[in-house]
Chains A and B, each alone.
Chain A
Amino acid sequence: MKVITAVKRVVDYNVKVRVKSDQSGVDIDNVKMSMNPFDEIAVEAATRLKEANVATEVLAVTCGTQQSQETLRTALAIGADRAVLVETQAELQPLAVAKLLKAVVEKEQPRLVILGKQAIDDDAGQTGQLLAALLDWPQATFASDIRIEGDWATVTREVDGGLEVVSLKLPAIVTTDLRLNEPRYVTLPNIMKAKKKPLDVLAAEALGIDPSPRLKTLRVEEPAARKAGVKVPDVATLVEKLKNEAKVI
C-alpha cells in the first residue's frame, strides 16, 4: 500500500512573528523556517506504517517554491522513500493546495494520505478535509491513533469532550493531532542518505490547475495589546484586587 504525506514549510514554531509596518503581511524574511510540526507527525506515522509492513512506499509531497525542497529532505530523512515538489511562485491558499495534491494523488494512486491537522502559519485547518471532498474519499481528522485492517482504517479522533473512533473504507484521508506520535530525531546518517533519495519537481501549471489565491487579504494587523499588568506581593493582595479592582470573584 502506497502512502502519501503532505508537508509544509512554515515559520518555526518558536519564532514570534512581527507584522509588517505597511500591514501587507507578516515579516518572514530571515526568519527560521521548519517543517510544520503536525506534518512531522504525519511523516512519522507513515514511516511507522512502513516499518510495520503495512505501507510499501511512503511519498512526501509539498507545494511551494524551490526552498520547500529542504522540507522534503527532512521528510526523506525521517523515513519517506521519495518526494515530489509541486513548484509554484503563487501565494498558496488551502483550496489551491488541495487541488494540486489531488492531481498528485490521482497520478500516484495511494491508499492513504496523511496530512497535519493544521499549519501553524495560516492556522486554517482545511487542506485534509478539502482534499478528501475533492477526491470523494472518507476522512478522519485530528487522529491520535491509526490502525489499518484489510480495506479499512480504524482511526481514533480527538474531539471536544473526549475521543471518538471511526472506520474508513480505503482509500482515505487522515489528519494528525499532536498525540498521534512523537516524531523521531533525524540523525546525521539519515540526513546524508536523504540527499540520495529521489526528489521530483512538477510545475503547478503543468497540472492544469490555477493556484492563484481566491481570498483577498486586505490587511494584516497586530492584535490589540493588553495593558500592562502588575505583580502582587501576596495572596491577600491578589484576592483583594480580584474582588475590588477587577470584580471577577
Chain B
Amino acid sequence: MTTLVIAEHDNAQLKGATLHTVSAARRIGGPVHVLVAGSAAQAVAEAAARIEGIEKVLFADAPQLGDGLAENAAAQVIALAKDYSHILFAATAAGKNVAPRVAAKLDASQISEIVSVEAPDTFKRPIYAGNAIATVQSSDVVIVATVRTTAFDAARMEGGAAAIETVPAVADAGTSRFVKREVVKSDRPELTAARVVVAGGRGLGSAENFALLDPLAEKLGAAIGASRAAVDSGFAPNDCQVGQTGKIVAPELYIAVGISGAIQHLAGMKDSKVIVAVNKDADAPIFSIADYGLVGDLFEVVPALTHSV
C-alpha cells in the first residue's frame, strides 16, 4: 500500500497545497511518494524531497508537462499508477482538473474533497455546500481522491531527504495547446493559506468602496476575499471569491464585511476558527455563524476597526 501525491507547482516553486495533501496521504498509513511533473522543474523536485515523511520523489521533466495541460498531466500519472494503492491530488483548480481524468482511465470512482481519512478505504467529504458530511467507502483497486487542503495541516518543508528518481515523460497528446495565463498580481498572502481573511460583499457598493478593506487587510496581514455578489458586481476579481464554487478557506480569523451569508458563501468559510461579521442588517444569516457580530454601518465600522487594531 503506497500513496502517490501529485505535487502542485509552477515549475519554480512547490505550492503549499502539496504539503496539506502529503499530510492527508500520511494518514492513510503506507509510504508516500510525490510526483513532480513539469518542465525545467528540478528546483521543485528538490523542494519536494525535503518534505518530512516522503519516501521518494518521482520526477518527470519535459516541455509538454510545463503548463499542466490535463491531457498530458493525467497521462503522466496513469503511466505510474499501477504501483500505487492511492493517488491524491489537492482540491485546487489544477487538481480538480486532472484527478477525474486519471480516475476514469483506471475505472475508479474518484472521491472529491476529502476532509478526513477514516480508514485506508473510507473517507469523509462534504456534500450540499457543506450542509452534510458523507462517509464513503471505496472498493476500487486504486483509490483516486482530491484533498480539501484546509482540513489537513501542512507537512513540514524540512527534515525529509527523499531520493529523486527520474521517470520517463509521456509524449504530448497533441489535442490541446496552452495559450496564455493572466495572473492577478498581489502582495498579500494567498487567500487559501492566509491566517486572516478580510472579505467584502455587496454591502460595499462599488469597487472604490471595496478598497476600504485594503488598509484593514494591510494592518492584519490578511488576504482579501469576496462574496459572489461582490465578484459578479465587479467589485473584486474572480479569484477572490470565497464559497461553494470559489475558494474554500479556514483561516484563524475571518472578517465578513457587508456579506449577508448565503448558504453558498458559508460553505467556503464556516470552518474558520473565529468569524467576525459586520453588517447593518441585524437579521443577516451571517450572524448565525459569527462568533462576534457587530450591527452597524460598515463605512463607519471598518475605518474605526482599522484605526484600533
Q: Please list the residues of chain A having a beta carbon within 8 angstroms of any beta carbon in chain B.
A: 11, 13-14, 16-17, 19, 26, 38, 93-95, 98, 117-118, 120-134, 137-142, 144, 154, 157-169, 172, 177-179, 214-223, 226, 229-232, 234-236, 238-239, 241-242, 246, 248-249
Contact = CB atoms under 8 A, between A and B. Distances in A.
B181 interface: yes
B43 interface: no
Contacts of A232: 292-294
Contacts of B98: 129
Interface string B64-86: 00000111001000000000000
B289 A124 contact: no
Chain B, interface SS category: mixed
B245 A235 contact: no
Given A19-B131, A160-B239, A231-B295, 17 more contacts: A26-B131, A123-B127, A129-B100, A130-B110, A134-B104, A139-B97, A139-B176, A154-B179, A162-B182, A218-B137, A220-B135, A222-B133, A223-B131, A239-B309, A246-B274, A248-B253, A249-B309
B181 A164 contact: yes
A248 B237 CA distance: 27
Contacts of A137: 175
6 contacts: A138-B70, A154-B179, A217-B135, A229-B287, A229-B290, A231-B294
B249 to A, nearest CB: 12
Contacts of B133: 220-223
Which of B92, B98, B133 has the most chain A CB within a 10 Å cutoff? Answer: B133
Contacts of A129: 70, 96-101, 104
Which of A98, A127, A162 has the most chain B CB within a 10 Å cutoff? Answer: A162
Interface residues of B, number: 87
A231 B275 CA distance: 12
Contacts of A215: 109, 111, 136-138
Task: Give the 5 A-B residue pairs with the shortest CB-CB distance, closest first.
Answer: A133-B104, A129-B100, A126-B100, A165-B179, A138-B175
A219 B118 CA distance: 12
Contacts of B180: 164-165
